[in-house]
């Protein structure tokens, strides 16, 4: 690419439906896939797409993210020119300005963008799991001579009303944009991935900032306004795996998708690696009594029990006669002898006692917190 | 009192030829995801030694690729850090550790240093040597040179003052000594020699038999516990491999598995390195499989060491013995016809 692209990665989300998993970290920092955090996906997509200037906008519980991303070394973003820049809200003469919406987050970093002198700005979300070549998207944007390009994905009609939907003509020109409509007219969902011509975006952000009743959101304010001004807005049809993990159940599903080759997300792909911060741990060990089937296991684990159809993060200890099935076990957790876990997500650093059983197996997926375990202990079940 | 270190990665080890055609002993893969030199380097940095010279002779391409600027060991420093110091030897160096000729070629490394003492260490020993403790012992003993010795012999690691090191480099020809190891073994006058007793785990990799035995020895939990200490990690070059996949129908027991592999077959008593594929119904017992190997379906392997990038076609049967494991060289392709 000769033109300069700057990616702005929105990573301030709380993800409150993920319960205690996001009490002290932002949603993009949630562990996923045995060794990753969700934000590794858009960051690695940038690296693999040749985008070397990335701003990461943080707000909710930013410390884990700032620390995790650091200088951007795991993603090759520690560069002399460009690289990664963390962009939390900041104070200026007229006070502290929190990010009120997705568009205001970008607006408040206009100085950063201006200093980068981009031709195009790529807006990304830090909490989606997918592999995408952004270079192709930007080529498409140029080819179509669009002012803004929205990456879209076909979703099942019954789920369509959960998304921002775009309706297009045969040339993929967007004719309508509706945010979570009750009666969807289209099943093309916006992935929250947009390419803007920087100069156009800049003027729309300036205007939007002066509109008092605006919610300063791309989906609700900026895009509808551009459409009503007859700016050229096109949809880019993305094909492939894409997941927005908003709930404990969908986080579990996204992990299980890794165990199902037909789900379409392959991590064992040397041509499109997902980069991550790698802790220095010894290889995993499956002991004499260990049995592992249909699962993924990361470094530093010692498995002496039975693991079926599960995703096991680094440094997990599963003792003899323990059974883990259809579950996600996050790093540093220890599962005692004879414990039986099924359809759970175990957060990091939990100790599951010997012979533990779920008190009331829930219909959905249980987030097996230390609190839940402590109440089991108090109930004297063991 | 502060330490600098000279790591001898040029020493010639005759018994490992099949694994050293394309690399030096120091970069032989070990324990699934490491190279032998990782242990020496990690021991050094865990003792806060930030000035490390690696003395290397050809072929060192693989070693340079592994070490880079030393980032994985936190040795990419403004001041001091990692020094890659190639020597002009052809076909490897001498057979003992700490060649003065090598050191002489890079005399400045020792002259310019601000440290008071020097660690000289080999690059084919895996252990958890605590150099802070060894230095304290050395200073208390008042000896000129201290050697680390464990239950089964020397770890080939030495501490001496930088001043003595410079004196030895300038006078080794007239003294007719080749290396630090030589000097210590011959106990040449007028120097005094001390021993630091090392009590932990260590493995000396100086023959294929030792390599095989010590590799599989890591399946013993006690050995692992002594080698992989949470407070003293072994650092290595990061590869960004995803977690290892165990597919339905696979059966793995008593094995050490690095990341990035895909296992469909049966594995027991083995060490499997990164990004290895083991096909359906393949059976491995007591094997060491290095990175990026492919073992196709219905293979039967026992007592086999497969170097990097080995490809074993379906139905191949290779059975070695514990004393004489079969060694497949880097990049070798084995067909069913070959193995009959």
The C-alpha of B220 sits at a distance from chain A's nearest C-alpha, in angstroms, of 10
- CB-based contact, A320 to chain B, within 8 Å: no
Contact yes or no for A373/A350 (Cβ under 8 A)? yes
Domain boundaries B3-227, corresponding CATH code: 3.90.550.10
Distance from CA of A152 to the nearest CA of B (A): 28
pLDDT averaged over every residue in chain B:
95
| Residue A3 tokens, joined | 């033109």
Of A13, A70, A73, A65, the C-alpha closest to A275 is A73
Record: contact A296-B257, CB cut-off 8 A: no
- Say if the Cβ atoms of B235 and A285 lie within 8 Å: no
CA atoms of A210 and A108, how far apart (whole Å) = 13
Nearest chain A residue to B236, by CA: A280
Enter the pTM of the model. Answer: 0.94
Question: Does A317 reach chain B within 8 Å, measured CB to CB?
Answer: no
**What gap in Å lies between CA A234 and CA A173, rounded to an integer?**
4
Q: What is the mean pLDDT of residues A344-362?
A: 89
Contact across the interface for B254 and A281, Cβ inside 8 Å: no
Query: pLDDT tier at A376 (50, 70, 90 boundaries)?
Result: confident
- Average the pLDDT over B63-92 and give the result: 90
Whole-Å CA distances, A207 to A210, A240, B26? 5, 35, 63
**Low-confidence winner among A5-14, A354-363, B190-199 (lowest mean pLDDT):** A354-363
Residue A382 reports pLDDT greater than 70: no
- Kindly indicate the confidence band of residue A3, based on its pLDDT and cuts at 50, 70 and 90: confident
Q: Is A276 part of the contact surface with chain B (CB cutoff 8 Å)?
A: yes
> CATH topology for B245-334?
UDP N-Acetylglucosamine Acyltransferase; domain 1 (2.160.10)
CB atoms B248 and A274 under 8 Å: no
Residue A379, chain B, CB below 8 Å: the answer is no
Interchain pair A293, B246: CB under 8 A: yes
Tokens 């150099």 identify what position? B131
Map out the domains of chain B as residue ranges.
3-227, 245-334
Cβ-proximal residues to A214 (8 Å cutoff; 6+ apart), any chain: A103, A208, A221
Which chain B residue's Cα is nearest to A295? B246
Over the stretch B165-199, which tens digit does the pLDDT of each residue have?
999 999 999 999 999 999 999 999 999 999 999 99
Contact B232, B159 (CB under 8 A): no
In this predicted structure, what is the pLDDT of residue A361? 66
Using pLDDT thresholds of 50, 70 and 90, give the confidence band for residue B74.
very high
Q: Is A129 on the interface with B (CB under 8 A)?
A: no
CA distance A347 to chain B (A): 18
Record the tokens describing residue A95, joined without a space.
Answer: 């006070």
What is the 3-class SS of B204-243, one letter each residue? ECCEHHHHHHHHHHCCCHHHHHHHCECCECCCCCCCCCCC
pLDDT value, residue A378: 85
Rounded to whole angstroms, the Cα distance separating A306 from B142 reads 55
Mean pLDDT of B321-335: 96
* Matching fold, domains B3-227 and B245-334: no
- Residue A1's pLDDT is 59
Q: What tokens were used for A156?
A: 């099942």
- Report how far residue A279's alpha carbon sits from residue A282's, in angstroms, rounded to the nearest whole number: 10
Residues B253, A285: C-beta atoms closer than 8 Å: no
Q: A10-66, pLDDT tens digit by residue? A: 998 888 888 888 888 999 999 999 999 999 999 999 999 999 999 999 999 899 999
Q: What band does B248 get if pLDDT is binned at 50, 70 and 90?
A: very high
Residue pLDDT, tens place only, A133-179:
999 999 999 999 999 999 999 999 998 998 889 999 999 999 998 88
Looking at the predicted structure, is the pLDDT value of residue B227 above 80? yes
Which of B72, B238, B246 has its CB closest to that of A292?
Answer: B246
- Three-state SS for A352? strand
- Report which of residues A245 and B250 the model is more confident about: B250
Over residues A261-278, the pLDDT tens digits come to: 899 999 999 999 999 988
pLDDT at residue number A2:
67
Q: Kindly report the nearest CA distance between residue A314 and chain B, in angstroms.
A: 9
Smallest Cβ–Cβ distance between A290 and the set B33, B243, B253 belongs to B253
- Region of residue A272 (phi > 0: left; psi between -120 and 50: alpha; otherwise: beta): beta
Distance CA B123, CA A197 (A): 55
Q: What mean pLDDT comes out for the span B121-148?
A: 98
What is chain A's mean pLDDT, rounded? Answer: 93
Per-residue pLDDT band for B91 (boundaries 50, 70, 90) equals low
DSSP secondary structure of A117-180: --SEEEEEETTEEE---HHHHHHHHHHTT-SEEEEEEE--GGGGGGSEEEEE-TT-BEEEEEES
Instruction: Tell whether A72 is within 8 A of chain B (Cβ).
Output: no
Question: Residue B319 above 70 pLDDT?
Answer: yes
Mean pLDDT of the A123-135 span:
96
User: Are A295 and B236 inside 8 Å of each other by CB?
Assistant: no
Quick one: average pLDDT of B60-73?
94
Contact list, A282 vs chain B (CB under 8 Å): 31-33, 224, 227-228, 234, 256
Instruction: Tell me what pLDDT residue A177 has.
Output: 86
Provide the pLDDT for residue A162: 87
Q: What per-residue confidence (pLDDT) applies to B275?
A: 97
pLDDT tens digits along A213-258: 999 999 889 999 999 999 999 999 999 999 998 899 999 999 999 9
pLDDT at residue number B90: 64
List of chain B residues whose C-beta atoms are within 8 Å of the C-beta of residue A281: 233
Mean pLDDT (whole number) for A346-353: 96
């Amino acid at each position: 690419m000769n033109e300069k692209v700057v990616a702005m990665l929105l990573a301030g989300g709380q993800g409150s439906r993920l319960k205690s998993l996001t009490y002290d970290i932002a949603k993009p920092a949630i562990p996923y896939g045995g060794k990753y955090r969700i934000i590794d996906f858009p960051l690695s997509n940038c690296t693999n797409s040749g985008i070397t200037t990335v701003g990461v906008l943080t707000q909710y519980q930013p410390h884990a993210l700032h620390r995790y991303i650091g200088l951007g070394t795991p993603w090759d973003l520690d560069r002399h020119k460009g690289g990664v820049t963390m962009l939390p809200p900041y104070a200026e003469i007229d006070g502290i300005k929190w990010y009120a919406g997705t568009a205001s987050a970008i607006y408040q970093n206009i100085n950063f963008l201006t200093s980068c002198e981009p031709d195009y700005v790529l807006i990304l979300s830090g909490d989606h799991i997918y592999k995408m070549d952004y270079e192709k998207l930007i080529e498409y944007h140029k080819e179509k001579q669009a002012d803004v390009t929205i990456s879209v994905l076909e979703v099942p009609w019954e789920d369509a009303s959960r998304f921002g939907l775009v309706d297009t003509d045969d040339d993929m020109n967007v004719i309508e944009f509706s945010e979570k409509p009750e009666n969807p007219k289209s099943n093309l969902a916006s992935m929250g991935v947009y390419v803007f011509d920087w100069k156009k975006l800049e003027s729309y952000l300036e205007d939007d900032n002066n509109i008092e009743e605006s919610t300063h959101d791309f989906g609700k304010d900026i895009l509808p306004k551009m459409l009503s001004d007859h700016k050229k807005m096109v949809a880019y049809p993305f094909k492939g795996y894409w997941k927005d993990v908003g709930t404990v159940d969908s986080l579990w599903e996204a992990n299980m998708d890794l165990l199902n080759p037909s789900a379409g997300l392959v991590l064992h792909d040397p041509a499109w690696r997902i980069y991550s911060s790698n802790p220095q741990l010894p290889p995993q060990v499956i002991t004499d009594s260990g049995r592992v089937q249909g699962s993924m296991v990361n470094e530093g684990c010692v498995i002496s029990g039975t693991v079926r159809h599960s995703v096991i993060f680094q440094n997990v200890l599963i003792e003899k006669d323990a059974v883990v099935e259809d579950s996600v076990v996050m790093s540093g957790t220890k599962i005692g002898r004879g414990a039986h876990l099924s359809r759970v997500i175990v957060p990091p650093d939990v100790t599951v006692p010997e012979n533990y059983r779920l008190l009331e197996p829930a219909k959905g997926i249980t987030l097996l917190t230390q609190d839940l375990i402590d109440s089991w202990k108090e109930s004297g079940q063991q | 009192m502060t330490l600098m270190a000279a790591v001898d990665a040029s020493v010639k080890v005759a018994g490992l030829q099949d694994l050293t055609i394309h690399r030096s002993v120091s970069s032989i893969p070990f324990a699934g995801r490491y190279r032998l030199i990782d242990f020496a380097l990690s021991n050094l940095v865990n003792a806060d030694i930030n000035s490390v010279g690696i003395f290397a002779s050809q072929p060192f391409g693989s070693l340079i690729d592994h070490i880079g600027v030393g980032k994985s060991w936190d040795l990419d420093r403004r001041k001091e850090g990692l020094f890659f110091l190639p020597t002009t030897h052809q076909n490897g160096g001498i057979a003992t550790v700490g060649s003065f000729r090598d050191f002489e070629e890079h005399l400045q490394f020792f002259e310019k240093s601000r440290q008071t003492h020097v660690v000289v260490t080999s690059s084919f020993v895996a252990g958890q040597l605590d150099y802070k403790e060894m230095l304290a012992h050395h200073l208390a003993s008042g000896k000129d040179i201290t050697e680390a010795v464990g239950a089964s012999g020397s770890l080939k690691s030495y501490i001496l003052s930088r001043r003595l090191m410079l004196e030895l480099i300038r006078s080794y020809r007239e003294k007719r000594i080749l290396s630090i190891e030589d000097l210590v073994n011959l106990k040449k006058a007028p120097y005094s020699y001390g021993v630091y007793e090392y009590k932990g785990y260590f493995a000396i990799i100086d023959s294929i038999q030792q390599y095989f035995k010590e590799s599989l020895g890591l399946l013993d939990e006690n050995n692992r516990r002594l080698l992989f200490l949470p407070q003293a990690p072994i650092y290595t070059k990061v590869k960004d491999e995803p977690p290892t996949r165990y597919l339905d129908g696979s059966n793995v027991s008593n094995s050490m598995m690095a990341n990035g592999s895909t296992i469909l077959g049966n594995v027991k008593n083995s060490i499997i390195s990164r990004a290895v594929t083991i096909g359906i119904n393949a059976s491995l017992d007591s094997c060491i499989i290095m990175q990026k190997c492919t073992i196709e379906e219905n293979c039967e392997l026992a007592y086999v060491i497969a170097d990097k990038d080995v490809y074993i076609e379906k139905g191949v049967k290779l059975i070695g013995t514990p004393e004489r494991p079969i060694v497949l060289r880097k990049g070798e392709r084995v067909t069913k016809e070959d193995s009959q």
